[in-house]
């Protein structure tokens, strides 16, 4: 393993003013997004949509440090035959790949899941590296509810994340380590804080056991927010302070950077929270975004599968990327939302 090279890639992924575009929806997840805008889930439509994003050249160059791809996309070519990976590289952005096989029911722990995909992963990493991937993503999912999460669920997911991370680094690929505590329940912010702390402590313990040097990873956690169904929703400042407190408590300074997921927050919430955290200052690592929905909901709606809406789709993507770029340096304000990208 060349740790210096891994560290260089990781630092590039969290470079100042930039963040990651999570465009790695599986075929079934992108179907949900396309259903919402009335677009048939065909291979060509998936290609056209993602090509639209990757050809938003100035935005890609200025604000997108890396793109997480799905297996189909990393092999796909643009309409003119250019590999989509090349569009990303030409914009100076790093191509990445989602390698997990999804969260599956965890035996012995009703209502909980463990993320699968370790079998054959060494060979898959070798192929993905040849296809251009220089970083990867594995998402573990922890749900909060009555009597959950269990230690069994947290431990199984943290171990899988650590084994994945070690294999990625062995292949010269930077692992994005993503333990996501869901915001689906009615729990309050204190419960999210407690569970996320437990999960992050366990993840870093397992990374240590698996001998994963932290200089060669990027952490992708959830923010500390109340469940969507919780009657008490907290202010932007409360979320920012709680999140910074938890990551400071749990994430060693050797980690090159933290790129948050949006997890079902609205576009503007995800941006406001990130900006407020960075405005607090005094952080040992860059905090940026690795958003899926919070970067893509607007361009999906503007595009709606119509070739004549391509420019509108790109404009919407450019705008969200600019807003999040400002947030990553703590300089976003509500007034910026009114500005065109």
Q: Which is nearer to ligand 13P, 178 or 202 (CB)?
A: 178
Closest CA to 72 of 49, 56, 103, 90: 49
The residue whose Cβ lies closest to ligand 13P is 292
* Cβ count near 27 (within 10 Å): 12
Contacts of 297 (CB under 8 A, 6+ apart): 267
CB nearer to ligand 13P: give 32 or 306. 32
> How far apart are the C-alpha atoms of 291 and 271, rounded to whole Å?
10
Output the six-digit token pair for 135: 């970083």
Least distance between ligand 13P and beta carbon 81 (Å):
28
Residue 183 CB, nearest approach to ligand 13P (Å): 9
Measured from the CB of residue 54, what is the shortest distance to ligand 13P in angstroms? 16
Q: Is-catalytic flag, 220?
A: yes
Of the pair 90, 332, the CB lying nearest ligand 13P is at 332
Q: Nearest to residue 214, comparing CAs of 177, 181, 172?
A: 177
Among 25, 51, 112, 178, the active-site one is 178
Task: Say if residues 64 and 144 touch (Cβ distance below 8 Å).
Answer: no
CB of 178 to ligand 13P, least distance (A): 6
C-beta of 134 vs 139, nearer to ligand 13P: 139
Terminal Cα-to-Cα distance of the chain (whole angstroms): 41
Shortest Cβ distance from residue 4 to ligand 13P (Å)? 27
Q: Which is nearer to ligand 13P, 3 or 154 (CB)?
A: 154
Q: Any long-range contacts for 102-111 (C-beta under 8 Å, 24+ apart)?
A: 102/26, 103/139, 103/140, 103/141, 106/152, 106/153, 106/156, 108/152, 109/148, 109/150, 109/152, 109/153, 111/143, 111/145, 111/148
Binding site for ligand 13P (CB under 6 A): 22, 139, 178, 261-263, 291-294
> Looking at the annotation, which residues are catalytic?
178, 220
């Amino acid at each position: 393993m060349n740790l210096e090279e891994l560290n260089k890639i990781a630092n590039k992924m969290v470079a100042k003013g930039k963040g990651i575009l999570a465009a790695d929806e599986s075929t079934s997840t992108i179907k949900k997004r396309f259903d919402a805008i009335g677009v048939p889930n065909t291979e060509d439509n998936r290609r056209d949509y993602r090509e639209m994003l990757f050809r938003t050249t100035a935005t890609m160059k200025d604000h997108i440090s890396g793109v997480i791809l799905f297996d189909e996309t990393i092999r796909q070519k643009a309409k003119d035959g250019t590999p989509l990976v090349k569009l990303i590289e030409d914009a100076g952005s790093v191509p990445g790949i989602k390698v997990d096989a999804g969260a599956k029911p965890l035996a012995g722990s009703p209502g909980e899941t463990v993320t699968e995909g370790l079998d054959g992963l060494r060979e898959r990493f070798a192929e993905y590296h040849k296809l251009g991937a220089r970083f990867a993503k594995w998402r573990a999912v922890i749900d909060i509810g009555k009597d959950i999460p269990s230690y069994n669920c947290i431990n199984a997911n943290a171990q899988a994340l650590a084994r994945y991370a070690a294999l990625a680094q062995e292949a010269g690929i930077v692992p994005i380590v993503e333990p996501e505590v869901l915001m689906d329940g009615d729990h309050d912010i204190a419960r999210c804080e407690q569970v996320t702390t437990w999960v992050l402590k366990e993840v870093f313990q397992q990374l240590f056991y698996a001998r994963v040097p932290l200089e060669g990873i990027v952490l992708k956690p959830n923010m500390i927010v109340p469940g969507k169904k919780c009657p008490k929703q907290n202010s932007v400042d409360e979320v920012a302070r709680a999140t910074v407190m938890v990551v400071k408590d749990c994430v060693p300074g050797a980690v090159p950077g933290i790129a948050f997921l949006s997890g079902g927050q609205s576009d503007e919430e995800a941006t406001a929270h990130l900006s407020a955290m960075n405005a607090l200052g005094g952080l040992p690592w860059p905090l940026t975004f690795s958003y899926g929905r919070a970067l893509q909901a607007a361009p999906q709606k503007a595009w709606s599968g119509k070739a004549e809406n391509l420019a509108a789709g790109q404009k919407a993507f450019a705008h969200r990327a600019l807003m999040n770029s400002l947030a990553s340096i703590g300089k976003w304000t509500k007034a910026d939302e009114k500005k065109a990208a």
